[in-house]
Structure 1
Amino acid sequence: MRRGAYGVPVYTDPVGGATVSPAALRTWAGLVVEAIGTPPTVAGDVAEILVAADRRGIASHGTARLPNYITLVDAGVMDPAGLPHLVRERDALALFDAENGWGHHAGRVAIDWAIGAAQSVGSAVAVVRNSNHYGIAGWYAMRAARAGLIGCAFTNSSPLVAPTRAIRPLLGTNPIAVAAPAGHWELFCLDMATSTIPRGRIEVAARRGETLPVGWAIGPDGHPATTAKDALAGALLPLGGLEETAGYKGYGLALAIDLLSGVLSGAAFGPNIVGLFSTEGKSDLGHAFWVIDPGAIAEPGEFERRLEGYLDQLTGAETVSDAPGRVLVPGEPEAEAERRADDRGIVIDERHHRSLVEIGERVGLPFPGETA
């Protein structure tokens, strides 16, 4: 990792891969998703959210996941044509069933319902059951923020995290995202797993031959894992790492997210969810979205101005002597990655590139830059 302006972290580009424009990758990904039986409008949502992850430098949740989704469709445990439907609602609370379809589309439908309801009544929650992996949580929260609202997105996931003191994974990485309009800072966007890192980051480390720091994961023997192989065979650690570094806080937060997304919606939860991208059965994941309209209790623009001023104070704080730059706003590194990707293209690693080329060959859609 290197540093850009103001010390914003910029992930080092992988060596030996390929560079592709976001627009070309989005179009190609949408056509691929259509080719496996997905309606065009649904495919558009999937491609948009996958490429958004790639643009923001979150390679673990972008188009590198396409082979996993296709495997689920091939095995008959995910319905690419499944369309979410509204099960029941009140003015500010709704339950959707994703019909075992794409989590990306079900999530987009649910967050849009919550946005519309919040604009009417001030605050609204939508939950989803019977869904699948939905990509980056931040996309949904930012969709609300770009409408001038505060957006929150939560989801449960396959058990990959060992609760504090446990040796086996029983919880998901259960991410949380909160986003809001922030004046000249554009957006505040916290998007994080409730594990120390997401499993996808371990997979990226495996592809790139990186070692792991202590506190990310434990091996199958319960001891800290420093290789991707041991980590993938063991369990991730909750946010905070080991018990002596307060990992129990991350455990509690992950459990709370599952309460809101899995238990509340009627989806599977915790150890009852099948393994990540497992073909043993459907995922039945749960999502939750909460949207707040600040304008319901404040003058127009007041919340945004106050948040802008708050972030000005934080980023102007005196720093420690060896700090690589000023205090950052959550989401700045990803926003910087997004700008770089839009300017010069998305850089994907060799294994990621090879998997997409193979998918293109299978469905008769050459990957951008490849010849038929």
Structure 2
Amino acid sequence: MSKERVRFDPKALRGFTIRAFTHFGVSEEDAFQAADVLAYSDEHGIDSHGVARLKTYVDLLKAGRINPKPKLKVIREKHAVATVDGDNGLGLVVGPKCMEMAIEKARMHGQGSISVCHTNHYGAAGYYPLMAVREDFIGMSMTNSSKGVVPFNGIDKMLGTNPLAMGFPTGVEPTVLMDFASSTVAYGKVEIAWRAGENVPLGWCLDDQGRGTTVPERMMQGGALLPLGSSKEGSGHKGYCIAGIVDLMTAVLSGANWGPFATPFAIDSPRSEKQVGKGIGHFFGAWDIEGFRDLKVFKSDMDAWIQTMRATRHLPGGPKVRIPGDPEWAAYRIRMKEGIPLQLPVVRDLETIAAALGIPAP
């Protein structure tokens, strides 16, 4: 394993991703959309959800486990809410289309909520609220995922990392964006440490015997992630509750597989023998601020909120207080100038994809 990284031109990675998806019959429009979701992660410093995930999408498309040409279907609807069957399409395509539906309902009714079943991994949760923010709406997204996290006080994996994201429009200040897993850390960050040959902090993971471990391999080989907060002292029950909320809103509400039955996002992971729904689930929400307050006044107050938080005294010798979203905006400014830094194992994966599909490597 190595800490070395190679920088790539953002446009080159986007183009490569588009060619990889169209190779499997994904339309140009859908491939462009899917590439945009992955590029968002790489360009904003979310290394666990960008092209590092492309090989898994390619493997699943090649094996026929993802439908390259899904036909989304509204299976139930009532005013501002609806449930959509994603027809086992790329979550990177199903997600944006369903977020647009939530936004359209918010235009009509002041708010919109879309639950989705029969879909799969949709990339970084934070991509979707920003779609609503661009319309001056508040946006939210969440998704369940395959089991990898123990419930509070448990040893067995029962829940996914189940992320939740919300975005809020502002005036002159950058968008406020909260995007976090309900586990102490996302699985992808453990993978990043593993690729770099590094240990992880105690409190992230358990080994296969339920003991805390700092060795990524011990978690990845039969172990599990801990819920946000980890322990009783860290209020791990709160992370468990957040994971439960996400699982119920995305899967039980939509008719997707919930809890330990969620479909794995991995070619080498067999599906659970028991299926309690279709695919995995997402949930998208959008709210028209004008239904609550004058938009300009709200944005001004958002700016004041941000400026007040930034002015907070910080710990001696520590960094200044930042606003949710600041790390992403800072990473974007750097990476769009200096390129996307990819770990060597990810680079090798892209080279493998290029050779297998007969397309130029980025």
State the TM-score, normalized to the length of structure 2: 0.94
Tell me the CA shift for residue 281 of structure 1: 4.1
After superposition, the CA RMSD in angstroms is 1.5
In the alignment, does 2:126 pair up with 1:132?
no
- Distance in 1 between the 2:90 and 2:271 partners? 15
- Distance in 2 between the 1:83 and 1:21 partners? 33
Residue pair 2:3, 2:197 contacting (<8 A) in 1 also: no
In the alignment, does 2:291 pair up with 1:296?
yes
- For 2:131, give the aligned amino acid: R
The equivalent residue for 1:315 is 310
Residue pair 2:84, 2:116 contacting (<8 A) in 1 also: yes
Q: Give the length in aligned residue pairs.
A: 354
The aligned runs of 1:1-372 (5 Å cut-off) are 15-233=3-221, 234-278=223-267, 279-281=269-271, 284-324=279-319, 326-368=320-362
Residue pair 1:150, 1:292 contacting (<8 A) in 2 also: yes
57-66 or 273-282, which deviates more:
273-282
210-219 or 296-305, which deviates more:
296-305
Deviations for 1:196-230, whole angstroms, at most 9, x for unmatched residues?
A: 00111111110011111111011111110110011
3-state SS in 1 of match to 2:266:
coil
- Distance in 1 between the 2:161 and 2:334 partners? 28
Residue pair 1:83, 1:106 contacting (<8 A) in 2 also: no
Residue pair 1:95, 1:128 contacting (<8 A) in 2 also: yes
Residue pair 2:184, 2:230 contacting (<8 A) in 1 also: yes
- Distance in 2 between the 1:311 and 1:16 partners? 36
- For 1:113, give the aligned amino acid: M
3-state SS in 2 of match to 1:262:
helix
Q: How many percent identity over aligned positions?
A: 34
3-state SS in 2 of match to 1:301:
helix
- Distance in 2 between the 1:15 and 1:100 partners? 36
Tell me the CA shift for residue 288 of structure 1: 0.2
- Distance in 2 between the 1:131 and 1:94 partners? 15
Tell me the CA shift for residue 87 of structure 1: 2.0
- Distance in 2 between the 1:84 and 1:132 partners? 13
3-state SS in 2 of match to 1:328:
coil
3-state SS in 2 of match to 1:87:
strand
Residue pair 2:21, 2:31 contacting (<8 A) in 1 also: yes
Residue pair 1:17, 1:351 contacting (<8 A) in 2 also: no
- Distance in 2 between the 1:162 and 1:117 partners? 36
Tell me the CA shift for residue 19 of structure 1: 1.5
- Distance in 1 between the 2:81 and 2:54 partners? 32
| Structure 1: runs of 5+ lacking an equivalent | 1-13
Deviations for 1:221-276, whole angstroms, at most 9, x for unmatched residues?
A: 11101100111120000000122321111001100111100000000000111334
Deviations for 1:56-81, whole angstroms, at most 9, x for unmatched residues?
A: 11111111111111221222222122
| Structure 2: runs of 5+ lacking an equivalent | 273-277
258-267 or 85-94, which deviates more:
85-94
- Distance in 1 between the 2:135 and 2:174 partners? 12
